[in-house]
Amino acid sequence: MKQKILELFEKKNNWTIKELEKKLECHSSKDFVALIQALNELEEQRILCNNHNVYFYIDQKEYVIGKVKDVSRWEFAVINPDQKVYVPKKLARNAFDKDEVLVHCTNKGNEIIHIYSRGITKVTGTFYLRKGKFHFYSDVDLHSSFEIKNMDDFSIGHRMKAVVAIVKYTDPLQCKIEALLGYEYEKGMDITSILSANAVRQKFSDKVLEQAAHMPVSVDEKDMEGRMDFRDLMTVTIDGDDAKDFDDAISIEKNETGYRLYVHIADVSHYVKEGSPIDQEAYARSTSIYVADRVVPMLPFALSNGICSLNPHVDRCTLTCVMDIDHYGNCIKHEIVPSMIHSDCRCTYKKVNEFLEGKNHEYDFVGQLLFDFEACARLLQRRSHDRGMIDFNTKEADLILDDNGKCVDVLCKERGFAEQMIEEAMILANVCVAHTLNSHKIPGIYRVHEAPDPQKISKLSLLAHSLGIKTSFYPEDVKARDLQQFLESIQDEGLLTVLSSTALRAMQKARYDAQCLGHFGLSLKEYCHFTSPIRRYSDLVVHRMLRKYVFMHTKKGASLDEKKCETQAFYISSKEKDAVNVERQVSDYKKAEYMEDKIGQSFKGSIVSVMPFGFFVELPNTVEGLVPLRSLDDYFDYDEIANSLISYSEKKTYRIGQSVKVICESVDKQKGQVSFILKQR
């Protein structure tokens, strides 16, 4: 039946059901049911589209199917793995951000003509009392009013925040209250609303908290069974100033062949048993989420900040990766063992950097450890560089909040060598554990980063050439070392920032997999996550596999664990994406909040991306805003290869990497969007 239907669409693009019924000679109810089933299947396969009971064939040249992304006040982007098109909001019908839609692309413009599925199912907003009645206003303007079906079931107050679920996509949108969050003026309620809108699990159930309350607060002699005793080793943790959970610690010994480096990792698997209430909740969350004013932890605080955290001056259960490193930075031997440690000092990145520069003497009593660790890390860093590891030169924002939770400054996080020391040690430990799993055919979860799409690398190469920078790699066979050398060859700091960002966007997303597929960005054949079990479930799974197959020497259940790891890897990857999206959304929101009182002020920045509808300018502090095409005083052609806009008169060109002066024109805090206009000289 499906083939017959498709043959008819080769003759004519639009058919009603009645026309198809007649052409296909559907004389019985059985024939008609078969016709409807076939049409539904073809619609599900995105081959046909039903538009007001008229079916038409989706020609790939004329139609694009993808997910909506709200990129500016005026445009949506519709994106799929192969392409991206832009749709003016006036031609988007009633589509929302994250919807899956069908776009009709013509010379007159792009238009959304069909919505397959909705991406926004829950909305946060505020109830206001107006003329004796409560009205609900969404945080993000959806250009629709709301009809709340179950208001009488809740005790609503003026300016009260709530989460509502959309039950019918009509105008007005029909919704039901799911939860009341509190009043909009309460500190941190803005971020609570964003977390709630993204269905982030912010509270632990009574069952989980009850189990956490019964966790031990200290280790005892029984915990020492089967463990190596490293409590006499000088040991430190090195983390950020605000860190509360410490899941890694360092010890090091200098010897004739080089160094023996100990990476101690919190033994979360000793306390969190598979299938327990805490474990089930940890898996549901899969990762801790870090936003401007809080951490939404994977584990209850009794564990993450208590018995599992490698706090100073107390004994803690750990898994230790002991690595012998020669004078060239090669790991010549490694062993992973259950252990017990006693941290001597809680160090911070800032103070370690100051100590290594001779500006701070607070850590003198662990000074030899820090100096040895610095020397060892430099060997590891040189080895990583020689291997081809890529440094994408990324900038991370540091959001400064006042006592009321408002963003009052945005800075670039400074990264000293202390951060790099820990990074090198953790990468090496992860490599050693991945090698242990892979070489012994032990089930596990690997951190994989596959080779980039040749088409995207080709675009990067074309962009570089348009900026006068030569490339010597082949897009079809690019290696990490090729991109490393390419980025290192760029002398202009502004262009380096832009091309690093472009190269990063050309990469595939790192993910989790039960198969060892290597890590392109790190230029490694074997890699996993082992070093952060307090905040990542993938690491906890790896710990359990080590305990079962390495420490206890079990061989039973491997095939079952392999299948379980496959399922877990897929789920954890999806939760990681969700967490990254939420963290980015909060960051964009707070940056926009910071810019709210800067409207009318001028700034200097660099063009970081060019689109058919304008270009994005990034300020030195990472705040990014759009200069819309409509604000420019000329007509422009978009050159996709050169990432530039060229005026018809050819007097003006705006290209990626170019420095410009802009004025902050407007801010949409809820969407995290900033709009600039060019400053006229």
Residues 549 and 434 in one domain: yes
Percent of the chain whose predicted confidence (pLDDT) is above 90 = 72
Q: What is the mean pLDDT of residues 329-334?
A: 96
Rg (CA), the chain: 28
pLDDT band at 299 (very low <50, low <70, confident <90, very high): very high
Question: What pLDDT was estimated at residue 63?
Answer: 87
pLDDT band at 30 (very low <50, low <70, confident <90, very high): confident
pTM of the full structure: 0.88
Decide: 138 and 124 in contact? Cβ < 8 Å.
yes
Residues 638 and 664 in one domain: yes
CATH number of the domain within which 81 lies: 2.40.50
3-state SS, one letter per residue, for 365-418: HHHHHHHHHHHHHHHHHHHHHHHCCCCCCCCCEEEEECCCCCEEEEEECCCCHH
Question: What pLDDT was estimated at residue 142?
Answer: 84
Q: What is the mean pLDDT of residues 578-595?
A: 96
CA distance 418 to 348: 9
pLDDT at 681 over 70: no
Q: Confirm whether 581 is domain-assigned.
A: yes
Residues 334 and 429 in one domain: yes
Helix axes 206-213, 277-285, angle to 10 degrees: 120
Q: In total, how many domains does the chain have?
A: 6
pLDDT at 112 over 70: yes
Question: What pLDDT was estimated at residue 58?
Answer: 81
Burial 74-92 (b: 16+ CB within 10 A, else e): bbbbbbeeeeeebbeeebb
Dump pLDDT digits (tens) for 435-457. 999 999 999 999 999 999 998 99
- Which carries the bigger pLDDT value, residue 388 or residue 50? 388
Residues 393 and 285 in one domain: yes
Residues 371 and 428 in one domain: yes
Question: What pLDDT was estimated at residue 83?
Answer: 83
Hey, is 134 helix, strand or coil? strand
Q: Confirm whether 201 is domain-assigned.
A: no
Domain span at residue 649?
599-678
Q: Confirm whether 197 is domain-assigned.
A: no
Cis before 312 (ω within 30) = no
CA distance 519 to 511: 10
Q: What is the mean pLDDT of residues 403-423?
A: 95
Determine what percent of the chain falls in helix, strand and coil, rounding each to the nearest 5.
35, 30, 35
Give, for 137, the enclosing helix (H) or strand (E). strand 133-138
Residues 334 and 274 in one domain: yes
CA distance 616 to 139: 24
* Cβ contacts of 641 within 8 Å, gap of 6 or more: 459, 462, 463, 466
Residues 406 and 327 in one domain: yes
Q: How many residues appear in the chain?
A: 681
Residues 326 and 392 in one domain: yes
pLDDT band at 295 (very low <50, low <70, confident <90, very high): very high
**What are 465's strand-pairing partners?**
none
Average pLDDT of every residue of the chain? 93
Closest Cα partner for 124 from 147, 141, 103? 141
Burial 188-226 (b: 16+ CB within 10 A, else e): bbbbbbbbbbbebeeebeeebbebbeeeeeebeeebbee
Question: What pLDDT was estimated at residue 338?
Answer: 98
Decide: 151 and 190 in contact? Cβ < 8 Å.
no
pLDDT band at 316 (very low <50, low <70, confident <90, very high): very high
CA distance 490 to 309: 42
Which amino acid, 380? L
What does the angle CA 413 – CA 195 – CA 133 come to, to the nearest 5 degrees?
A: 130
Dump pLDDT digits (tens) for 70-101. 888 888 999 988 788 899 988 888 888 889 98
Q: Confirm whether 625 is domain-assigned.
A: yes
Q: Confirm whether 553 is domain-assigned.
A: yes
**Domain end position, chosen among 507, 523, 549:** 507
**Domain end position, chosen among 117, 135, 151:** 117
Percent of the chain whose predicted confidence (pLDDT) is above 70 = 100
Residues 40 and 129 in one domain: no
CA dihedral 98, 171, 73, 587 (to 10 degrees): -50
Dump pLDDT digits (tens) for 140-161. 888 889 999 999 999 999 999 9
Q: Confirm whether 410 is domain-assigned.
A: yes
Q: Confirm whether 255 is domain-assigned.
A: yes
pLDDT band at 512 (very low <50, low <70, confident <90, very high): very high
CATH number of the domain within which 661 lies: 2.40.50.140
Give, for 176, the enclosing helix (H) or strand (E). strand 173-183
Find the range with the poorest average confidence among 9-13, 344-348, 553-557.
9-13
pLDDT at 328 over 90: yes
Decide: 404 and 186 in contact? Cβ < 8 Å.
no
Maximum CA extent, the chain: 92
pLDDT band at 178 (very low <50, low <70, confident <90, very high): very high
Question: What pLDDT was estimated at residue 225?
Answer: 94
Decide: 179 and 150 in contact? Cβ < 8 Å.
no
Residues 260 and 319 in one domain: yes
Question: What pLDDT was estimated at residue 651?
Answer: 77
Q: What is the mean pLDDT of residues 626-640?
A: 90
Find the range with the poorest average confidence among 263-272, 526-535, 548-557.
548-557
**What are 348's strand-pairing partners?**
239
Q: Confirm whether 403 is domain-assigned.
A: yes
Dump pLDDT digits (tens) for 268-293. 999 999 999 999 999 999 999 999 99
Decide: 350 and 241 in contact? Cβ < 8 Å.
yes
Residues 439 and 463 in one domain: no
Residues 430 and 553 in one domain: yes
pLDDT at 60 over 80: no
Give, for 334, the enclosing helix (H) or strand (E). strand 331-342
Query: Could you tell me whether strands 146-148 and 173-183 are parallel, antiparallel, or unpaired per DSSP bridges?
Result: parallel
CA distance 396 to 580: 13
pLDDT at 139 over 80: yes
